[in-house]
Amino acid sequence: MTVRVGVIGVGMIGKDHIRRLTTVLAGSQVVAVTDVDAQEARRVAAGLPGATAHRTGQDLIADPAVDAVVVCSWGPTHEEYVLAAIAAGKAVFCEKPLATSEAACRRIVQAEVAFGRRLVQVGYMRRYDAPYRALKAVVDSGEIGTPLMMHCTHRNASVPGHYTKDMAITDTAVHEIDMVRWMFGEEITAATVLTPRRSRLGGELQDPLMLLLEMDSGALVDVEISVNIRYGYDIRGEVVGEEGTAALGEFSPITVRRNGLVSGKVPTDWRERFLRAYDVEFQEWIDSVRSGSEFGPSAWDGYAAATVSDAALASLNGAGRVPVTLCEKPALYASSR
Protein backbone atom coordinates (compact mmCIF):
# COMPACT_ATOMS: atom_id res chain seq x y z
CA MET A 1 0.00 0.00 0.00
CA THR A 2 1.23 3.49 -0.86
CA VAL A 3 0.44 6.03 1.85
CA ARG A 4 -1.18 9.07 0.24
CA VAL A 5 0.09 12.08 2.18
CA GLY A 6 -1.27 15.63 2.42
CA VAL A 7 1.18 18.35 3.55
CA ILE A 8 -0.05 21.50 5.34
CA GLY A 9 2.48 24.32 5.05
CA VAL A 10 4.98 24.36 2.21
CA GLY A 11 7.60 26.63 3.77
CA MET A 12 11.17 25.60 4.37
CA ILE A 13 10.68 22.31 6.20
CA GLY A 14 7.43 21.47 4.39
CA LYS A 15 9.25 21.56 1.05
CA ASP A 16 12.11 19.52 2.47
CA HIS A 17 9.74 16.84 3.76
CA ILE A 18 7.93 16.77 0.38
CA ARG A 19 11.30 16.19 -1.32
CA ARG A 20 12.05 13.42 1.17
CA LEU A 21 8.64 11.75 0.79
CA THR A 22 8.77 12.04 -2.99
CA THR A 23 12.36 11.27 -3.94
CA VAL A 24 14.15 9.62 -1.00
CA LEU A 25 11.78 7.29 0.83
CA ALA A 26 9.67 4.30 -0.14
CA GLY A 27 5.94 3.75 0.32
CA SER A 28 4.42 7.23 0.12
CA GLN A 29 3.11 9.73 -2.38
CA VAL A 30 2.33 13.40 -1.73
CA VAL A 31 -1.18 13.82 -3.16
CA ALA A 32 -2.21 17.17 -1.65
CA VAL A 33 -0.70 20.36 -0.29
CA THR A 34 -1.94 23.64 1.15
CA ASP A 35 -0.44 26.85 2.46
CA VAL A 36 -1.71 30.29 3.53
CA ASP A 37 0.18 31.40 0.45
CA ALA A 38 -2.22 29.78 -2.07
CA GLN A 39 -0.02 30.66 -5.03
CA GLU A 40 2.94 28.89 -3.46
CA ALA A 41 0.78 25.83 -2.70
CA ARG A 42 -0.31 25.70 -6.37
CA ARG A 43 3.29 26.07 -7.51
CA VAL A 44 4.43 23.18 -5.28
CA ALA A 45 1.46 21.00 -6.33
CA ALA A 46 2.29 21.62 -9.99
CA GLY A 47 5.63 19.91 -9.42
CA LEU A 48 4.01 16.79 -7.92
CA PRO A 49 2.27 14.48 -10.40
CA GLY A 50 -1.46 14.22 -9.62
CA ALA A 51 -1.31 16.43 -6.50
CA THR A 52 -4.11 18.83 -5.53
CA ALA A 53 -3.58 22.28 -3.99
CA HIS A 54 -6.28 22.75 -1.35
CA ARG A 55 -7.57 26.12 -0.23
CA THR A 56 -7.31 25.29 3.51
CA GLY A 57 -5.81 22.72 5.84
CA GLN A 58 -9.31 21.62 6.81
CA ASP A 59 -10.15 20.90 3.15
CA LEU A 60 -6.95 18.88 2.80
CA ILE A 61 -7.70 16.80 5.91
CA ALA A 62 -11.26 16.11 4.67
CA ASP A 63 -10.02 14.99 1.22
CA PRO A 64 -10.78 11.23 0.91
CA ALA A 65 -7.67 10.87 -1.29
CA VAL A 66 -5.49 11.80 1.74
CA ASP A 67 -4.62 8.87 4.03
CA ALA A 68 -2.24 10.71 6.35
CA VAL A 69 -1.41 14.34 7.13
CA VAL A 70 1.92 16.13 7.68
CA VAL A 71 1.65 19.50 9.49
CA CYS A 72 4.52 21.87 8.69
CA SER A 73 2.77 25.21 9.09
CA TRP A 74 3.52 27.86 11.70
CA GLY A 75 3.37 26.55 15.32
CA PRO A 76 0.20 28.41 16.43
CA THR A 77 -1.80 26.63 13.66
CA HIS A 78 -0.76 23.10 14.71
CA GLU A 79 -3.49 22.50 17.30
CA GLU A 80 -6.33 23.16 14.86
CA TYR A 81 -4.94 20.80 12.21
CA VAL A 82 -3.95 18.00 14.58
CA LEU A 83 -7.40 18.08 16.21
CA ALA A 84 -9.06 17.99 12.78
CA ALA A 85 -6.92 15.00 11.71
CA ILE A 86 -7.84 13.13 14.91
CA ALA A 87 -11.54 13.91 14.30
CA ALA A 88 -11.13 12.49 10.76
CA GLY A 89 -9.35 9.39 12.14
CA LYS A 90 -6.24 10.09 10.04
CA ALA A 91 -2.61 9.60 11.08
CA VAL A 92 -0.91 12.96 11.53
CA PHE A 93 2.78 13.80 11.69
CA CYS A 94 3.11 17.24 13.31
CA GLU A 95 6.39 19.12 13.17
CA LYS A 96 7.43 20.33 16.60
CA PRO A 97 5.97 21.94 18.61
CA LEU A 98 2.81 19.84 18.89
CA ALA A 99 1.14 23.11 19.92
CA THR A 100 2.34 26.35 21.41
CA SER A 101 0.89 25.99 24.92
CA GLU A 102 0.61 23.28 27.50
CA ALA A 103 -3.21 23.69 27.50
CA ALA A 104 -3.41 23.23 23.71
CA CYS A 105 -1.25 20.08 23.91
CA ARG A 106 -3.51 18.73 26.67
CA ARG A 107 -6.57 19.25 24.42
CA ILE A 108 -4.82 17.16 21.73
CA VAL A 109 -3.97 14.41 24.24
CA GLN A 110 -7.61 14.39 25.42
CA ALA A 111 -8.94 14.20 21.85
CA GLU A 112 -6.63 11.31 20.98
CA VAL A 113 -7.50 9.44 24.18
CA ALA A 114 -11.21 9.94 23.39
CA PHE A 115 -10.57 8.59 19.87
CA GLY A 116 -9.05 5.51 21.54
CA ARG A 117 -6.05 4.89 19.29
CA ARG A 118 -2.77 6.67 18.61
CA LEU A 119 -2.76 8.80 15.46
CA VAL A 120 -0.30 11.57 16.32
CA GLN A 121 3.48 11.64 15.95
CA VAL A 122 5.52 14.74 16.81
CA GLY A 123 8.63 15.69 14.83
CA TYR A 124 11.36 15.16 17.41
CA MET A 125 13.97 13.82 15.00
CA ARG A 126 16.88 13.43 17.42
CA ARG A 127 15.35 10.13 18.50
CA TYR A 128 16.11 8.89 14.95
CA ASP A 129 19.68 10.16 14.78
CA ALA A 130 22.20 7.28 14.66
CA PRO A 131 24.69 8.85 17.15
CA TYR A 132 21.92 9.63 19.67
CA ARG A 133 20.51 6.10 19.23
CA ALA A 134 23.99 4.65 19.83
CA LEU A 135 24.38 6.80 22.96
CA LYS A 136 21.00 5.64 24.29
CA ALA A 137 21.92 2.00 23.58
CA VAL A 138 25.02 2.37 25.79
CA VAL A 139 23.01 4.03 28.58
CA ASP A 140 20.28 1.35 28.38
CA SER A 141 22.84 -1.48 28.37
CA GLY A 142 24.01 -0.49 31.85
CA GLU A 143 27.62 -0.43 30.60
CA ILE A 144 28.38 2.91 32.28
CA GLY A 145 26.24 2.20 35.34
CA THR A 146 23.31 4.28 36.50
CA PRO A 147 23.22 7.60 34.62
CA LEU A 148 23.72 10.52 37.00
CA MET A 149 24.13 13.56 34.76
CA MET A 150 24.11 14.68 31.15
CA HIS A 151 25.98 17.64 29.66
CA CYS A 152 24.35 18.98 26.48
CA THR A 153 25.48 21.68 24.09
CA HIS A 154 23.35 23.24 21.36
CA ARG A 155 25.20 25.81 19.27
CA ASN A 156 23.96 27.59 16.15
CA ALA A 157 26.26 29.68 13.96
CA SER A 158 23.55 32.38 13.81
CA VAL A 159 19.76 32.78 13.90
CA PRO A 160 17.39 34.78 11.67
CA GLY A 161 16.29 38.33 12.52
CA HIS A 162 12.84 37.21 13.71
CA TYR A 163 14.36 34.90 16.36
CA THR A 164 13.16 36.04 19.81
CA LYS A 165 14.36 35.54 23.36
CA ASP A 166 11.61 32.94 24.00
CA MET A 167 12.55 30.95 20.87
CA ALA A 168 15.83 29.96 22.54
CA ILE A 169 13.58 27.77 24.70
CA THR A 170 10.57 26.99 22.48
CA ASP A 171 12.46 26.34 19.22
CA THR A 172 15.98 25.45 20.31
CA ALA A 173 16.17 23.98 23.82
CA VAL A 174 12.94 22.04 23.23
CA HIS A 175 14.93 19.49 21.21
CA GLU A 176 17.12 18.78 24.26
CA ILE A 177 14.03 18.74 26.48
CA ASP A 178 12.48 15.95 24.40
CA MET A 179 15.79 14.14 23.90
CA VAL A 180 16.66 13.85 27.61
CA ARG A 181 13.16 12.55 28.50
CA TRP A 182 13.75 9.83 25.88
CA MET A 183 17.42 9.24 26.79
CA PHE A 184 16.69 8.77 30.51
CA GLY A 185 13.22 7.24 30.01
CA GLU A 186 11.75 9.54 32.65
CA GLU A 187 10.10 12.92 33.09
CA ILE A 188 11.68 16.29 33.90
CA THR A 189 10.51 17.61 37.27
CA ALA A 190 11.96 21.14 37.36
CA ALA A 191 13.70 23.66 35.13
CA THR A 192 16.03 26.55 35.93
CA VAL A 193 17.42 28.93 33.32
CA LEU A 194 20.56 30.92 34.04
CA THR A 195 21.72 33.87 31.98
CA PRO A 196 25.49 34.18 31.62
CA ARG A 197 27.36 37.23 30.39
CA ARG A 198 25.83 38.20 27.04
CA SER A 199 27.52 37.65 23.70
CA ARG A 200 27.81 40.92 21.76
CA LEU A 201 27.17 38.85 18.61
CA GLY A 202 23.58 38.21 19.80
CA GLY A 203 22.52 41.89 19.71
CA GLU A 204 19.52 42.35 22.01
CA LEU A 205 19.10 38.60 22.54
CA GLN A 206 19.96 37.00 25.86
CA ASP A 207 22.55 34.68 24.34
CA PRO A 208 23.90 32.28 25.58
CA LEU A 209 21.61 30.54 28.07
CA MET A 210 22.27 27.74 30.52
CA LEU A 211 19.41 25.39 31.46
CA LEU A 212 19.40 23.03 34.38
CA LEU A 213 16.84 20.23 34.08
CA GLU A 214 16.04 17.99 37.05
CA MET A 215 14.98 14.45 36.19
CA ASP A 216 12.51 12.38 38.21
CA SER A 217 15.32 10.06 39.43
CA GLY A 218 17.40 13.00 40.67
CA ALA A 219 19.74 12.93 37.65
CA LEU A 220 20.71 16.44 36.48
CA VAL A 221 21.04 17.74 32.91
CA ASP A 222 22.78 20.96 31.97
CA VAL A 223 22.19 22.48 28.53
CA GLU A 224 24.23 25.28 26.95
CA ILE A 225 22.28 27.18 24.30
CA SER A 226 24.44 29.48 22.16
CA VAL A 227 22.79 30.70 18.97
CA ASN A 228 25.33 33.14 17.53
CA ILE A 229 28.58 31.27 17.92
CA ARG A 230 29.61 31.78 14.28
CA TYR A 231 31.86 28.70 13.83
CA GLY A 232 29.05 26.29 12.89
CA TYR A 233 26.19 24.11 14.15
CA ASP A 234 27.50 21.99 16.99
CA ILE A 235 25.41 19.51 18.96
CA ARG A 236 27.09 17.69 21.83
CA GLY A 237 25.99 15.36 24.57
CA GLU A 238 27.74 13.37 27.26
CA VAL A 239 26.08 11.08 29.79
CA VAL A 240 27.93 10.60 33.06
CA GLY A 241 27.21 7.25 34.70
CA GLU A 242 28.37 5.73 37.98
CA GLU A 243 31.07 3.70 36.24
CA GLY A 244 31.89 5.57 33.05
CA THR A 245 30.77 8.15 30.54
CA ALA A 246 29.42 8.01 26.99
CA ALA A 247 29.39 10.92 24.57
CA LEU A 248 28.27 11.68 21.02
CA GLY A 249 31.28 11.45 18.71
CA GLU A 250 32.65 14.23 16.57
CA PHE A 251 30.43 14.61 13.53
CA SER A 252 32.95 15.47 10.80
CA PRO A 253 32.93 12.89 7.99
CA ILE A 254 36.62 13.59 7.32
CA THR A 255 39.72 14.57 9.28
CA VAL A 256 42.53 16.54 7.66
CA ARG A 257 46.09 16.45 9.05
CA ARG A 258 48.21 19.25 7.71
CA ASN A 259 50.97 21.61 8.87
CA GLY A 260 51.07 20.03 12.31
CA LEU A 261 47.30 20.44 12.81
CA VAL A 262 44.30 18.09 12.76
CA SER A 263 40.99 19.54 11.51
CA GLY A 264 37.50 18.34 10.61
CA LYS A 265 34.29 19.89 9.32
CA VAL A 266 31.65 21.37 11.63
CA PRO A 267 28.12 21.11 10.13
CA THR A 268 26.74 24.40 8.81
CA ASP A 269 23.23 24.00 10.16
CA TRP A 270 20.64 21.54 11.50
CA ARG A 271 19.68 20.35 8.00
CA GLU A 272 23.19 19.11 7.39
CA ARG A 273 23.64 17.61 10.88
CA PHE A 274 20.26 15.82 11.04
CA LEU A 275 19.63 15.08 7.33
CA ARG A 276 19.72 11.32 7.78
CA ALA A 277 17.71 11.47 11.04
CA TYR A 278 14.80 13.15 9.19
CA ASP A 279 14.92 10.41 6.53
CA VAL A 280 14.80 7.64 9.13
CA GLU A 281 12.08 9.47 11.09
CA PHE A 282 9.81 9.72 8.03
CA GLN A 283 10.50 6.21 6.74
CA GLU A 284 9.57 4.77 10.15
CA TRP A 285 6.44 6.95 10.22
CA ILE A 286 5.33 5.79 6.76
CA ASP A 287 6.00 2.19 7.77
CA SER A 288 3.88 2.67 10.92
CA VAL A 289 1.01 4.17 8.91
CA ARG A 290 1.18 1.25 6.46
CA SER A 291 1.45 -1.52 9.04
CA GLY A 292 -0.62 0.00 11.84
CA SER A 293 2.34 -0.38 14.24
CA GLU A 294 3.10 2.06 17.07
CA PHE A 295 4.14 5.60 16.10
CA GLY A 296 7.23 7.44 17.45
CA PRO A 297 7.15 10.53 19.72
CA SER A 298 3.56 10.84 20.90
CA ALA A 299 1.10 13.58 21.76
CA TRP A 300 2.08 12.88 25.38
CA ASP A 301 5.71 13.61 24.48
CA GLY A 302 4.57 16.83 22.78
CA TYR A 303 2.55 17.77 25.89
CA ALA A 304 5.43 16.99 28.28
CA ALA A 305 7.92 18.97 26.17
CA ALA A 306 5.53 21.95 26.05
CA THR A 307 5.01 21.84 29.82
CA VAL A 308 8.77 21.80 30.51
CA SER A 309 9.21 24.51 27.89
CA ASP A 310 6.63 26.70 29.70
CA ALA A 311 8.49 26.15 32.99
CA ALA A 312 11.82 27.08 31.38
CA LEU A 313 10.25 30.21 29.88
CA ALA A 314 8.94 31.24 33.31
CA SER A 315 12.42 30.69 34.72
CA LEU A 316 14.00 32.70 31.90
CA ASN A 317 11.59 35.49 32.74
CA GLY A 318 12.68 35.64 36.37
CA ALA A 319 10.81 32.88 38.21
CA GLY A 320 13.96 31.04 39.32
CA ARG A 321 13.64 27.27 39.71
CA VAL A 322 10.24 26.24 38.30
CA PRO A 323 8.77 22.81 39.17
CA VAL A 324 7.09 20.90 36.34
CA THR A 325 3.74 19.28 37.07
CA LEU A 326 2.27 16.95 34.46
CA CYS A 327 -1.28 15.62 34.46
CA GLU A 328 -1.73 11.88 34.92
CA LYS A 329 -0.36 9.93 31.94
CA PRO A 330 -3.23 8.21 30.09
CA ALA A 331 -2.89 4.45 29.55
CA LEU A 332 -2.88 5.06 25.77
CA TYR A 333 0.70 6.33 26.11
CA ALA A 334 2.00 3.62 28.47
CA SER A 335 4.28 2.15 25.79
CA SER A 336 5.07 5.35 23.91
CA ARG A 337 8.83 5.94 23.69
Out of 72, 85, 215, 316, which residue is the one contacting ligand NAP (CB under 6 A)?
A: 72
Residue 4 as a binder of ligand NAP (CB under 6 A): the answer is no
Minimum CB distance to ligand NAP smaller for 162 or for 257: 162
In the chain, the N- to C-terminal Cα span, in Å, equals: 26
In sequence order, the β-bridge partners of residue 255 are: 264
Does 125 interact with ligand NAP (rule: CB under 6 A)?
A: yes
CB of 19 to ligand NAP, least distance (A): 13
Q: Is 130 an interacting residue with respect to ligand NAP (CB under 6 A)?
A: no
Nearer to ligand NAP, 99 or 289 (CB): 99
Sheet of 91-95, strand order: 52-53, 28-34, 3-8, 68-71, 91-95, 120-123
Q: Which is nearer to ligand NAP, 71 or 111 (CB)?
A: 71
Interface residue with ligand NAP, options 14, 267, 296, 302 (CB under 6 A): 14
DSSP state string for 66-91 = -SEEEE-S-GGGHHHHHHHHHHHT-E
Instruction: Please list, in sequence order, all residues whose beta carbon lies within 8 angstroms of the beta carbon of residue 113, skipping any fewer than 6 positions away.
Output: 330, 332
Tell me the residue type at 247: A
| Closer of 81 and 192 to ligand NAP (Cβ) | 81
| Bridge-based pairing state of the strands 234-241 and 245-247 | antiparallel
| Contact by Cβ (8 Å): 209, 173 | yes
Which residue, 70 or 111, is less far from ligand NAP as judged by CB? 70
Give the total of residues touching ligand NAP (CB under 6 A).
23
**What part of residues 235-264 is at the interface with ligand NAP (CB under 6 A)?**
none
Residue closer to ligand NAP by CB (options 162, 258) is 162
Q: At closest approach, how far in Å is the CB of 75 from ligand NAP? A: 4
The whole-angstrom separation of Cα 244 and Cα 56 is: 53
12 forms part of the interface with ligand NAP (CB under 6 A):
yes
Q: Does 13 bind ligand NAP (CB under 6 A)?
A: yes
Find the shortest distance in angstroms from Cβ 233 to ligand NAP. 11
Where would I find the beta strands (DSSP E) of 135-251?
Answer: 147-155, 188-194, 209-215, 220-226, 234-241, 245-247
Q: Is 95 helix (H, G, I), strand (E, B) or coil?
A: strand
* Among residues 8, 30, 44, 68, the one that binds ligand NAP under rule CB under 6 A: 8
Is there binding between residue 9 and ligand NAP (CB under 6 A)? yes
Stretch that binds ligand NAP, among 33-41, 150-158, 217-225, 294-302 (CB under 6 A): 33-41
Closer to ligand NAP at the Cβ: 88 or 149? 88
Output the smallest distance, CB 143 to ligand NAP, in A: 29
Name 212's bridge partners: 192, 222
Q: Cα-flanking dihedrals φ and ψ of residue 124, to 5°?
A: -95, 90
Conformation bin of residue 43: beta by default, left when phi > 0, alpha when psi is -120 to 50: alpha
C-alpha to C-alpha distance for 290 and 45, rounded to whole angstroms: 24
Which of positions 267-296 make contact with ligand NAP (CB under 6 A)?
A: 270
* Interface ranges with ligand NAP (CB under 6 A): 8-14, 34-37, 57, 72-75, 77, 95-96, 123, 125, 171, 270
